[in-house]
Structure 1
């Protein structure tokens, strides 16, 4: 019995010596893999609690730069100065997900508009699609400023870049802009084609999420074939502007909701637990969390007038998940009262946007 205990202590000591003998480069490489695959902040924090050496190497800039978005999925109720400091460390290390997350928190939650927009721009320069799309939403709405600060052309340009990188909501927003001539030259056919592509990508991503890994290549192949079939045609073979597609979630196809980015979850929790200015509304899409930065900033539903959205991407998501079951057209006298209320709040010049907005009836 004594010899067995002695042998166990010896083996444990040898394993400890083996870990200590590993070069720092190998340990850092392992930590990079762990940080990039963490499913929650607690997974990453566990590394620091393991031993003193991992605590030190876990804060290596290379490890912090590889951390994934779920590593920064901090709950709003747990927000503290330590959380802020950790995100800043990751930003300094060059982590674009940290730049985007901290930028969203500063812009909307901490109301540090300049710093927040700067951090998102820092990530956007490195082709981070969510940052590009968020900056586009800010440009479309003139968030953080007055209505005259809207820059529709800049919003379209940012959407185009994000759409090129595969951002579905940006692709849908760009399609609506072209279809309606909003910030770009009107091109109904091209806009409809982009809407079809956006919904095809959304449909394929839903299939990939539900299908086993062995079938992912089949889903990708089907998506590529669908996109090839919907390339713009020339001559008299151009599809009509009213041509539809069975994959269009905008037109009633029920698709599972996409996973919400940790930054948007943080915003939803932050403003859901706090009393905000009663004159400022939040985006009605539950997966967004963006609040208005001034009164009457967001568009309202053109049918019922009871919901409002920061973008068409949020409108499309909320329509298929919830609002199409609840939307009831508002009576004319109610619309008059609503418009009069906006006039008193300084939003009378938003009538055209309300009437031509993103209502469920138009879907």
Structure 2
């Protein structure tokens, strides 16, 4: 009689029994690893909808506290009460990325200034560099209040803390503050040193991401803008400030949410309000003339010197056209030159 092999059938009930016999501690450990490495909200949601037990354990405070910032990469068109509650649960569980993301959304999108600032402060107290930098921008601009609410010294202090943690935009902002004597005693040499650190960290981040697989970093010398050809020599400024071309850094989910939110809700800004012209920022004005305009063309405006420097190198340098005078939003002439007396200060390009 010939030998015939038969497939062993797996009993679904038996497999289910094996799963149910796994201890909660082991499943929590696995779920923490999954939430910490999630690259999108769907990575985490797909686990929650698998079964009731995983749904229950997936919403455990320990798992929510470990969720990665990409878990909160929510699209504004999908914003609803359930998403808001999920972010709040994560923030209450101690997830500092959720605190920062929800804080930014509440402060700028939902216009709940106090709650948003408190959530960002909670993240900042846990040494979250983007939260420290965002609070610095709020202090520099007096966001959510009046021009008299600006606190330049507090902005510099918050920026310095974020810079100490290696935040590139904070390093760049602090460098420009020192160069200009903005909120701190002027020290051009020290400011230049911080700008060099910012560019060195920017280059290191790119190299660590792409390795040697592709030549992302190129050392070409583009033709300078006509306005800059005289007196600049043949050199080109490294990275965003000094000369090699690198891809723009990845936008934080909070900034991406802000940018898309105000695009699809174009009327929610209010009359005369403007967005920061740097595409990777997303911050809106909280009052009219809060942001500073380009002193050359008067067309673009920025929430910070860091955003201005980045946008100048990546985009605005090729578009900026000098004018003798330009109109503000009230239709009044404003001379391009020194900072004005109003809240709508002008910013020189570098």
TM category (shorter chain) comes to 0.7 to 0.9
Indicate the residue corresponding to 2:241 in structure 1.
Answer: 250
Q: 1 or 2, which has the higher helix percentage? A: 1
Q: CA shift at 1:250, angstroms?
A: 1.9
Q: Residues 80, 313 of structure 1: CA spacing in aligned structure 2 closer, same or farther, 3 A cutoff?
A: same
Q: Distance in 2 between matches of 1:111 and 1:165?
A: 29
Q: Residues 245, 171 of structure 1: CA spacing in aligned structure 2 closer, same or farther, 3 A cutoff?
A: farther
The answer (yes or no) to whether the contact 1:35–1:63 under 8 Å persists in 2 is yes
Indicate the residue corresponding to 1:224 in structure 2.
Answer: none
Q: CA shift at 1:265, angstroms?
A: 0.6
Indicate the residue corresponding to 1:289 in structure 2.
Answer: 282
> 5+ unaligned residues in a row in structure 1: which ranges?
214-243
The answer (yes or no) to whether the contact 2:103–2:116 under 8 Å persists in 1 is yes
Picking from 329, 339, 342, the partner of 1:350 is 342
The answer (yes or no) to whether the contact 1:312–1:358 under 8 Å persists in 2 is no
Indicate the residue corresponding to 2:306 in structure 1.
Answer: 313
Q: Distance in 2 between matches of 1:52 and 1:352?
A: 55
* Aligned CA-pair RMSD: 2.4
* 2:257 is the alignment partner of 1:266: yes
Instruction: Give the secondary structure class of the aligned counterpart of 1:292.
Output: coil
Instruction: Give the secondary structure class of the aligned counterpart of 1:107.
Output: helix
Q: Distance in 2 between matches of 1:336 and 1:262?
A: 32
Q: CA shift at 1:333, angstroms?
A: 3.6
Indicate the residue corresponding to 1:121 in structure 2.
Answer: 121
What do residues 310-343 of structure 1 show as CA deviations (whole Å, max 9, x unaligned)? 012211221222111111112x143699893579
What do residues 49-106 of structure 1 show as CA deviations (whole Å, max 9, x unaligned)? 1111101100000000000100001100000000010011001100000000000000
Q: CA shift at 1:9, angstroms?
A: 3.0
* 2:196 is the alignment partner of 1:176: no
Structure 1 residues 118-197: aligned runs within 5 Å: 118-197=118-197
Q: CA shift at 1:20, angstroms?
A: 1.5
The answer (yes or no) to whether the contact 2:259–2:282 under 8 Å persists in 1 is yes
The answer (yes or no) to whether the contact 2:325–2:334 under 8 Å persists in 1 is no
Q: CA shift at 1:13, angstroms?
A: 3.9
Q: CA shift at 1:353, angstroms?
A: 3.2
What do residues 115-147 of structure 1 show as CA deviations (whole Å, max 9, x unaligned)? 000000000000000000000000000000000
Q: TM-score, normalised by structure 2?
A: 0.86
Between 312-321 and 293-302, report the one with greater CA deviation. Answer: 312-321
